[in-house]
């Protein structure tokens, strides 16, 4: 196996990655792919990079998910298998729990008040939700969703989940009841908390629209660490503004800065969701922790080593499904 990693440029990072790889794997690096490479590591390949590797058999995206531009391009190369990594499942699940707790406990509002030396909220009727005994519905029961379920169950919550691949077994340490996505309308009325850990695909776009949110109990909370368009933006704003949802927490957005210059002045939404006191916002940093690059390097090396040993590489992306 000859692997070319487009993003590795620093000698120390190359050495650390090389140390984790099987000695039987040839490694080259840099923006210009080695023509002899059969495996290319790059998240957003260009046609020129693919053309430079006539023998490439595998493309590895070194993060979870697949950019839409990559998905579109790789459909033109059906002979190249596309794979990705799931190294950041733990911290993304932790972000989901952080947003859930913050929204359920109205932490942002209380924090803002006490910073201004205002104690009046302490003496008002509480808006905080007790999580013990409540039901959490997890949309997407992969590595992230299962970690979320473990924490919810540790808090004394009942957990439900949806998953396309119902044939995959539920981990034995979980009591989660898993359903087909087609059961969503029956599950939403039971859910005090809905946590979205799904990829963005044609099927999941606007999955939670106005009708779906209307099926949730009054005062429910919505958390999204998947992709923003899974939740209809207008429906989200209306449900929060009206109080139908008591709160929501998002780490994923409807708009992103198109370039470096716009990073300080790009609103994350087209609607004034950021003006709502019951909306908790994080700038898509759920997967960012001090250890993330070490996690990424380790996961990539394991993927390559196992692929070399077993003759078949894991984490293959279905371009039609989008994940």
pLDDT tens digit string along 107-160? 999 999 999 999 999 999 999 999 999 999 999 999 999 999 999 999 999 999
pLDDT of 320 strictly over 90: no
Task: List the single range of 146-155, 172-181, 306-315 with lowest mean pLDDT.
Answer: 306-315
What confidence score (pLDDT) does residue 49 get?
95
Q: What is the pLDDT of residues 179-215, one digit of tens each?
A: 999 999 999 999 999 999 999 988 999 999 999 999 9
The mean pLDDT of 220-240, rounded to a whole number, is: 98
The backbone torsions φ and ψ at residue 82, rounded to the nearest 5 degrees and listed phi first, read: -110, 130
Q: Where along the chain do its domains lie?
A: 2-87+290-310, 89-281
Flag whether pLDDT at 229 surpasses 90: yes
| Strand extents, DSSP E, 128-251 | 135-139, 158-162, 177-179, 193-196, 220-224, 245-250
Residue 123: count other Cβ atoms within 10 Å of its Cβ: 6
**pLDDT bracket for residue 322 (50, 70, 90):** confident
Query: What pLDDT shows up at residue 55?
Result: 92
Q: At what angle do helices 11-20 and 292-310 cross, to 10 degrees?
A: 40
Q: pLDDT tens-digit profile of 17-60?
A: 999 999 999 999 999 999 999 999 999 999 999 999 999 999 99
Among 22-31, 63-72, 211-220, the range scoring the smallest mean pLDDT is 63-72
Q: Return the DSSP state at 122.
A: G
Q: Which residues of 268-303 are buried (b: 16+ CB within 10 A; e: fewer)?
A: bbeeebeebebbbbbebebbebeeeeebbbbbbbeb
Task: Report pLDDT digits (tens) over 81-95.
Answer: 999 999 999 999 999
The pLDDT-based confidence of 64 (bands split at 50, 70, 90) is confident
Structure tokens at 214: 């209307």
The DSSP output letter for 200 is: P
pLDDT at 237 over 90: yes
Domains 2-87+290-310 and 89-281 share a fold: yes
What confidence tens digit (pLDDT) does each residue in 251-304 have?
999 999 999 999 999 999 999 999 999 999 999 999 999 999 999 999 999 999
Instruction: Assign 311 a pLDDT band (cuts: 50, 70, 90).
Output: confident
Give just the sign of the alpha carbon dihedral 94, 97, 102, 103: positive
Confidence of residue 321 (pLDDT cuts 50, 70, 90): confident
Least confident of 164-168, 245-249, 268-272: 164-168
Q: What is the pLDDT of residue 65?
A: 85
Taking the model in full, what pTM does it have? 0.91
Which architecture does CATH list for 2-87+290-310?
Answer: 3-Layer(aba) Sandwich (3.40)
Please give the C-alpha separations between residue 263 and each of 257, 258, 259, 279, in angstroms, as whole numbers.
5, 8, 7, 21
The domain at 89-281 falls in which architecture? 3-Layer(aba) Sandwich (3.40)
């Amino acid at each position: 196996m000859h692997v070319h990693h487009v993003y590795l440029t620093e000698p120390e990072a190359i050495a650390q990655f090389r140390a984790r790889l099987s000695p039987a794997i040839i490694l080259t690096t840099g923006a210009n792919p080695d023509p002899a490479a059969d495996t290319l590591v790059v998240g957003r390949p260009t046609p020129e990079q693919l053309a430079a590797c006539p023998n490439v058999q595998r493309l590895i995206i070194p993060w979870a998910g697949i950019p839409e531009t990559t998905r579109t391009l790789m459909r033109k190369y059906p002979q190249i298998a596309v794979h990705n990594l799931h190294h950041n499942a733990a911290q993304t699940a932790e972000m989901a729990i952080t947003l859930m707790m913050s929204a359920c406990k109205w932490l942002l509002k209380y924090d803002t008040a006490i910073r201004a030396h205002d104690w009046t909220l302490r003496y008002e009727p509480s808006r905080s939700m007790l999580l013990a005994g409540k039901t959490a519905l997890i949309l997407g029961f992969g590595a992230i969703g299962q970690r979320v379920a473990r924490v919810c169950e540790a808090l004394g919550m009942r957990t439900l989940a949806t998953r396309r691949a119902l044939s995959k077994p539920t981990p034995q340490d979980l009591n989660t009841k898993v359903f087909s996505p087609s059961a969503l309308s029956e599950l939403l009325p039971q859910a005090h908390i809905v946590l979205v850990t799904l990829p963005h695909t044609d099927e999941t776009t606007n999955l939670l629209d106005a009708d779906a949110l209307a099926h949730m109990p009054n005062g429910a909370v919505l958390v999204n660490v998947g992709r923003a368009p899974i939740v209809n933006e207008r429906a989200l704003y209306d449900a929060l503004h009206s109080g139908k949802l008591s709160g929501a927490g998002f780490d994923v957005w409807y708009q992103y800065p198109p370039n470096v210059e716009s990073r300080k002045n790009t609103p994350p939404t087209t609607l004034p969701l950021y003006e709502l006191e019951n909306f908790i916002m994080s700038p898509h940093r759920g997967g960012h922790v001090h250890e993330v690059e070490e996690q990424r390097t380790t996961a990539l090396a394991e993927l390559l080593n196992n692929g070399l040993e077993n003759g078949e590489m894991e984490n293959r992306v279905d371009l039609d499904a989008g994940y």
